Structure 1
């Protein structure tokens, strides 16, 4: 598992998807951290908040505040 520290405003603006795996995003510290999955937005605000999405679901994200979250973890 890789960890990433995201300063406020850091974002992946381009839509991305993974064809062969589910993806887990977990807020470890800081926040809020917004994940857009297909046509829905989820805002992670508290330690331990998470979102899981399946293969072929387009996603992008933005750190609304300074946040630490895993990068590249696929269960």
Structure 2
């Protein structure tokens, strides 16, 4: 996640699995959503980003190998 030209106070990444994939481990974010819809929001320690700053989250998944299309937003 990149803040862009202005600081942000939180971030959200959304996607829908195209198949029967699941997240088995997640770090650097908090997951919500159900079924194929996934939302990952910042942790308390990595939500506030200065202009042009970056942070990352990661996950391990299981299921079929199709990749989802991600949408990133900030409040």
Normalised by the length of structure 2, the TM-score is 0.42
Rg larger for: 2
Normalised by the length of structure 1, the TM-score is 0.42
Q: Quick check: which one's strand share is greater?
A: 1
